[in-house]
Chains A and B, each alone.
Chain A
Amino acid sequence: MAEPAVPAVVRPFETIGRRTIELVEALGRFGGFFGLALFSMVTPPFKTRAFIDRLHYIGYRSLLIIILTGAFTGMVLGLQVYLTLSRFGSEAFLGPAVALSLIRELGPVLAALMVTGRAGSALTAEIGIMRITEQIDALTVMALNPFRYLVTPSILAGIVTFPMMTALFDVVGIFGGYLVGVKLLGLSEGTYFGEMRTFVDFHDVMTGFWKSLSFGAIVTWVATYKGFYVGHGAEGVARATTQAVVLASVLILVWDYFLGSILP
């Protein structure tokens, strides 16, 4: 039996209600997806080969972009912070200013954003194409769980590689700041590193570590989710890839604020 027509005055409320239900369903599916991935991480069988492959895909292949962006971020920081500090006669604090900015904030966030653009989009596209070409269905009908091959290794690899890439970003960035501050602008090397040792402590490093670890989980969770539930055809894959990058980027920034406000 056909449903009765909705009066025009009620239609906006019906639309709001329907969209709210769709949003709640999507959030539930999104959360359940991560829960299933966590469950697969701690129960056998473990797909070690797939995990190693993802370490290479997400971590190793992102090294160049991490090094490039880390270096130039450090160099820009070195230049801008020096110019600012010199107004107050505080150039000596260039080292700790660059290091703290990178270790606590810019390193985790920028490294995560770079890898989102490079590896996150590629992950969504790869899994999305597997979905539309029935490769995921092929795994399912072979009585093999696609989660264990595609999702869990990716999320685990993200959790493992993001802190390492962030550390590399920080090191390269600090060196970039050194190149500009010491070699170009004339600050003494002893001052640059000496003040850094005074003001940067273990809590700062751990803040950066927890941020990068959680960003790794977020980026790979979003990327694999969007690929797994891609729409139809090439347009569906393109849309999913864009949505994955945008959503992951926004979540990084939002989560960065919350984490920064609760960590010491």
Chain B
Amino acid sequence: MIKVRGLTKSFAGQPVLRGVDLDVPDGSITVIIGRSGGGKSVFLKHLLGLLRPDSGEVMINGTDITHLGARAMDEVRRHYGVVFQGGALFDSLTCFDNVAFPLREKTELGPDEIAKRVEQRLDQVGLVGVGAKYPAEVSGGMRKRVAIARALVTEPEIVFFDEPTTGLDPVLVNTIHRLIHTLHRAFGFTAVMVSHEIPEIFDLADTVAMLHEGRIVAVGPPAAIQSSPNPVVQHFIRGEPELNA
């Protein structure tokens, strides 16, 4: 379980997170929505241990990661898989080698077993026969799918998605969402996703949390968020500018 309490963070005197509280239940898909520049990716980076807060706690399975040293944080990260916004595939490796990379570096598996698992994952994300190509040689949607395959190849307990469908056309957005849903059902991981895809994410998420001006202003099942009486939430999900903007 992931628990965040009172998370605050400022950059150069500018507050970005002003006391974020959030619970992410095991095995669920929690999607964080909010305006661009609202701190969603900053929040996600705190869960990944890439940033340290000014105050507050981030509890991952009972351990507060905000004060962990590098080695202890690496132990926590062994249970993570991460899909970055642009995929963050290694340019100098083929798609196959990108997916194989975590297995080669973190496990004692032999080459044949690694090849079998990589081919399995690429098949699950619908990318048979693409392994020999480099990331620059495949489309944006295929790069995202390779990134998802790489994130899941070590069968992590928690998977983080940082805007996995940004820049993709509507057909690909639905393809990626269906893929995440299918893989989530197959592997049962806990997922935390940052996304702008309203209303598509309401079909995918178990819980939706809205981050606004550095705080969680609404959290609940998709239906509760869609019918929220909070005008900030309603303006956002309808894509309307706020009254005082």
Query: Which residues on A are within 8 Å of B, measured CB to CB?
Result: 129-130, 133-135, 137-138, 140-145
Q: Do B88 and A135 touch (CB < 8 A)?
A: yes
Q: Do B75 and A137 touch (CB < 8 A)?
A: no
Cα of A145 to Cα of B88 in the assembled complex, Å: 16
Residue numbers in B under 8 Å from A142 (CB-CB):
77, 82, 101-102, 105-106
Q: Do B50 and A141 touch (CB < 8 A)?
A: yes
Q: What is the minimal beta-carbon distance from B96 to any residue of chain A, in angstroms?
A: 16
Residue numbers in A under 8 Å from B78 (CB-CB):
143
Cα of A140 to Cα of B106 in the assembled complex, Å: 13
If the complex has contacts A141-B80, A143-B74, A143-B75, are A134 and B105 also in contact, measured as CB distance less than 8 A?
no
Specify which of A133, A137, A141, A145 lies most central, judged by the most chain B CB atoms within 10 Å of its CB: A141
If the complex has contacts A140-B50, A142-B102, are A135 and B80 also in contact, measured as CB distance less than 8 A?
no
Interchain Cβ contacts under 8 Å between A and B, 29 examples: A129-B91, A130-B91, A133-B86, A133-B91, A134-B85, A134-B86, A134-B88, A135-B88, A135-B91, A137-B48, A137-B50, A137-B88, A138-B84, A138-B88, A141-B49, A141-B50, A141-B77, A141-B82, A141-B160, A142-B77, A142-B82, A142-B101, A142-B105, A143-B74, A143-B75, A143-B106, A144-B105, A144-B106, A145-B70
Partner among B49, B84, B160 whose Cβ is within 8 Å of the Cβ of A134: B84
B90 within 8 A of A: yes
Chain B interface residue bracket vs A: 20 to 34
Q: Do A141 and B48 touch (CB < 8 A)?
A: yes
Residue numbers in A under 8 Å from B50 (CB-CB):
137, 140-141
Cα of A130 to Cα of B86 in the assembled complex, Å: 12
- Minimal Cβ-Cβ distance residue in B for A45: B105
Residue numbers in A under 8 Å from B74 (CB-CB):
143
Residue numbers in B under 8 Å from A133 (CB-CB):
86, 88, 91
Q: What is the minimal beta-carbon distance from A3 to any residue of chain B, in angstroms?
A: 9
- Minimal Cβ-Cβ distance residue in B for A3: B13
Cα of A118 to Cα of B84 in the assembled complex, Å: 31
Closest 7 CB pairs of A and B: A143-B74, A138-B88, A143-B77, A134-B88, A134-B84, A141-B82, A135-B88
Residue numbers in B under 8 Å from A134 (CB-CB):
84-86, 88
Residue numbers in A under 8 Å from B84 (CB-CB):
134, 137-138
Q: What is the minimal beta-carbon distance from A123 to any residue of chain B, in angstroms?
A: 13
Cα of A212 to Cα of B22 in the assembled complex, Å: 56
Cα of A137 to Cα of B77 in the assembled complex, Å: 12
Residue numbers in B under 8 Å from A135 (CB-CB):
88-91
Within B182-239, which residues are at the interface with A (CB < 8 Å)?
Answer: none
Within B43-73, which residues are at the interface with A (CB < 8 Å)?
Answer: 48-50, 70
Mark contacts of B77-115 with chain A using CB atoms, 8 A cut-off: 1 yes-contact digit, 0 otherwise.
Answer: 110101011101111000000000110011000000000
Given contacts A138-B84, A141-B77, 9 further A-B contacts (CB under 8 A): A133-B88, A134-B85, A134-B86, A141-B49, A141-B160, A142-B77, A142-B105, A143-B75, A145-B70
Residue numbers in B under 8 Å from A141 (CB-CB):
48-50, 77, 80, 82, 160
- Minimal Cβ-Cβ distance residue in B for A136: B88
Q: What is the minimal beta-carbon distance from A196 to any residue of chain B, in angstroms?
A: 44
- Minimal Cβ-Cβ distance residue in A for B48: A141
Cα of A137 to Cα of B147 in the assembled complex, Å: 14
Residue numbers in A under 8 Å from B101 (CB-CB):
142
Q: What is the minimal beta-carbon distance from A2 to any residue of chain B, in angstroms?
A: 9
- Minimal Cβ-Cβ distance residue in B for A53: B92
Q: What is the minimal beta-carbon distance from B164 to any residue of chain A, in angstroms?
A: 13
Q: What is the minimal beta-carbon distance from A167 to any residue of chain B, in angstroms?
A: 29
- Minimal Cβ-Cβ distance residue in B for A139: B90
Residue numbers in B under 8 Å from A143 (CB-CB):
74-75, 77-78, 80, 106
- Minimal Cβ-Cβ distance residue in B for A2: B13
Q: What is the minimal beta-carbon distance from A44 to any residue of chain B, in angstroms?
A: 13
Cα of A130 to Cα of B88 in the assembled complex, Å: 8
Residue numbers in A under 8 Å from B88 (CB-CB):
133-135, 137-138
